[in-house]
Chain A
Amino acid sequence: MTTWETVIGLEVHVQLGTRSKMFCACATSFGDPPNTNVCPVCLGLPGALPVPNREAVRLGVRAALALGCTIHERSIFARKNYFYPDLPKGYQISQFDRPLATGGHVAVESPERGLLAVSIVRLHLEEDAGKSLHDRVPGKTAVDLNRAGVPLAEIVSGPDLRRPAEARAYLVTLKQLLVYAGVSECSMEKGSLRVDANISIRPAGQNRLGTKTEIKNLNSFANVERALEAERGRQQRELENGGVIRQLTLLFNAGTGQVRPMRSKEESHDYRYFPDPDLPPLALSGRWIEEIRGELPELPAARRSRFGARYGLPAYDAGVLTADRAIADYYEAVVSAGADPKAAANWVMTESLTGYNESGRFSASAQSLAALLALIKAGTVSHQAAKKIFLELPADGADPHAVAERLGLLQVRDEGALETWVEEALAAHPQEVQRYRAGETKLLGFLTGQVMRRSQGKADPKGVQSVLVRKLESK
């Protein structure tokens, strides 16, 4: 029986995070009423002309640099011609044979094959089309052109992925990189990241690629993986039954988990690309490109290894803390506010992340978290008490000591107070006291717990133990 090898390449469209559109000054904001962010240029009115948005070009260059691409100082905008009601000019301004950047790579941790260098064939700039709304007006299609002209970078990977799970890992890494680089929000829900997947299979050991199909309409990374699994299975069954693979564009149905071919009318056309005469070649100076390179933040892989080396964190912790630029920035702010790196890591990865994952932001400032960690270290509050204080921090200013005081959570180390609680506890548990004195010293833990309970957690555990031992041994 034949062993099949799967070959996958992805085309990812990423919305560049500009305030205005690629070729006009209209806002790119998401969710506004239909057809409110439009002007003669993005409506394609007679006589209107496109002018490139410098910020979009900057972000495109930044993305390409983050992906290790070669930036071409001269690239060309081209017209991609096709008719569709949500394409106002009847062509899309894109780049064709002279893209902005080529030849990069992304290091991806494959679930099965370890670290891969996935090649980036090209990154080019283009404008988005509008949106056809088929469910707004019964029996008709409505068109919203707010998206028309929104700047996109299309990032094309090489056919380097061998499993659907690798495709997903590539997407996770790519998204992380682009969010880090400040290029894009990369939200599939808002349409700021979209994926088309190309897949073919071939007998293991064969060099020639099989005929590929392209899957569209993928709305989550999980569905990219599911759709690729489904299509891999379909292709394999087809070939094993003596069939052939036809070059097709397929749509994924997330409900059924199946792919189906697009109707031939939706299928690809002859786009008749030619250089857009409205736009001179995009000429970038080497100096500007270097300036943008200088603005690039430290990227996730580099930051991960630095966190290990500089803060002494295990690889797992460094990975969690650097997965998101905001988390890594917060962690570093806490450390630079004076917190112990390991204690800060433990706290950020647990208490802070719980809140961050719920609300998308960190409730406590880095300074106040560092101050709280210092209180724990000094023994001023217990770890348990610190959790309560932490929850009160946003509501009650930034000073954890004041919060601890208000909540009565400062640890008590006063000898007299400790003796009172200890004596009460010993009086309440005469049998355990006897057993301890008979040599069952492990009961010290139980008795400590009883004292802590009486103090409502405020007693300093170390102080309690020393008073306890003294009392138990003295009689």
Chain B
Amino acid sequence: MTTALRDVARDTAARLRAAEPLNATLHWAPELLDAEADRAERLEAGASLRGMPIAVKDNIVTVEQPTTCGSRILTGYTSPYNATVIDRLRAAGALIACKTNLDEFAMGSSTEHSAYGRVKHPLDPARVPGGSSGGSGALVAAGVVPAALGSETGGSVRQPASFCGVVGVKPTYGRVSRYGLVAFGSSLDCISVFGATVDTASRVLRAIAGIDPRDATSVDRPPMEPLRMPESLTGMTIGLPREYFPGDLHPGVKAGCDRAIARLRDLGATLVDVSLPHSRYAVPTYYIIAPAEAAANLARYDGARYGNRQGDGDVRALYRATRGLGFGPEVRRRILIGTYSLSAGYADAYYNRAQAARMRIVQDFHAAFDSGIDLLFTPTAPSPAFKAGEKTDDPVAMYLADIFVCPASLAGIPAMSQPLGRTEGLPVGGQLIAPAFEESRMLATAALLERHLDAAAEVR
């Protein structure tokens, strides 16, 4: 059988094969790609993503491929149902290309914490692609697929998008169904999109967005509008939160931001200084709330019903062996932190206080947007992609890689990263943050900036 989409499937398979050294995929098969092509072939020509191969992070469940979450505890696990986003991608004509490598259960900022080995940065194999959705980011950056799904709990798409030099969009919490996304921090988790361009990311996001009766936290909103690029940014006010431009910001990142800010001004935007004073508490707040939720979400991996089962004898021994051997060190660390911060006598000092801090962070954003600011612009990450192994022994240094992306996750508001240029050959990303459900405004602005910025150029 030869069809146009079978050719797409074959070409995609060839690129996936060529990209194997990145270790970005956990599962793919040429036959499955062919089946995807045949499925899409039967759809109308007008389907919005017809024939687009899309990589999917391996914490989004699929019937045809295993879902491991990058963890030994789910070795060999295959879901009996598809995530809602998988059904929606297929309905739009996309081809599910592969399952991508990630930090175990999406816990990490470098994709070094996978039980199946680290993912390499496409431009420099000694460096990390960011994380936790590093496999998806690397495949888009390497040109293997034009778009990929990742997931965000605290910046896990925007930060690798920044490191890899691609577009990464986190929608408003509730915009995209979480049904079938393996839970990490449920109040924060958002399926998010990588795209080679703003337009591609925007099209994929439109295809997967919308309320889902299987997810009680999904929100009923009118469908997202197609991307409409404005002529200029006249009348738009963009806030520059001063807490996001610290003195010790990497000079290349600073140069990339400065150039983008100048371009935004050239395009007619009014740039104003603004303060989000509680954003400095975002990382500690995040590292209380996300592990607390994770500790509960990961309790189900006990070896009793599915997944990798270890140990014999009584049920305690089963739990101890299954969980002790099945989870890697970063996951164990976060389960312990989360269990501790919710324990009797500590919940007030940690979990409840973190919830209060989260409210303050949310209120900062409300105050900024209520004061007439349309969007916020910040660097995405404090530095370009770092070297593998550089931060693995210092969890706090690793956590600080998410310092600029955590606040929008805690606030549940849309945010995205786009490439601003390169420093010493490595991509630098800039972040736009919008009020809840204002993805269209954010994407339109990003698309215009993208057109007027040479993201492959060195910035100084």
Contact = CB atoms under 8 A, between A and B. Distances in A.
Interface of A: 40, 43-52, 79, 81, 83, 85, 88-91, 141, 143, 265, 270, 272, 274, 276-280
B74 A88 contact: no
A45 B181 contact: no
B214 A49 contact: yes
Contact of A88 (B305, B347, B351): B305
A474 to B, nearest CB: 90
Interface in B269-309: 292-293, 295-296, 298-300, 302, 304-306
A272 B343 contact: yes
A51 B292 contact: no
The list of the 5 closest CB pairs from A to B, nearest first, reads A90-B299, A277-B187, A277-B186, A272-B342, A47-B180
A141 B315 contact: yes
A50 B69 CA distance: 21
Q: Is chain B's binding surface mostly helix, strand, loop or mixed?
A: loop
A46 B342 CA distance: 23
Contact of B215 (A49, A88, A141, A272): A49
Question: A52, A270, A278, A279: which has the most chain B beta carbons within 10 Å?
Answer: A278
A102 to B, nearest CB: 22
Contacts of A272: 295-296, 339, 342-344, 347
B237 interface: no
A274 B79 contact: no
B179 interface: yes
A50 B218 CA distance: 12
Contact of B305 (A43, A91, A265): A43
Among A45, A50, A265, A280, max chain B CB count under 10 A is at: A45
B305 A47 contact: no
Name the interface size band of chain B: 35 or more
Contacts of A49: 178-179, 214-217
7 contacts: A45-B61, A47-B182, A47-B183, A81-B299, A83-B319, A90-B296, A274-B342
A162 B2 CA distance: 83
Contacts of A52: 216
Nearest to B179: A49
Given A49-B216, A90-B302, A279-B216, A79 B315 contact: no
Nearest to A143: B304
Contacts of B299: 81, 83, 89-91
A51 B216 contact: yes
B67 interface: yes
A46 B302 contact: no
A280 B339 contact: no
B245 interface: no
Given A51-B213, A88-B305, A143-B304, A278 B186 contact: yes
Contact of A44 (B77, B178, B300): B300
A52 B215 CA distance: 10
A52 B216 CA distance: 8
Nearest to A35: B305
B332 to A, nearest CB: 15
Nearest to B68: A46
Interface in B159-217: 178-183, 185-187, 213-217
B182 A46 contact: yes
Contacts of B215: 49, 51
A71 B343 CA distance: 30
A79 B296 contact: yes
Nearest to A82: B299
A274 B339 CA distance: 11
Contacts of A48: 81, 179-180
Contacts of A79: 296
Contacts of A265: 316
B46 interface: no
A278 B300 contact: no
Contacts of A88: 300, 305
Contact of A46 (B74, B315, B316, B351): B74
A43 to B, nearest CB: 7
B356 to A, nearest CB: 14
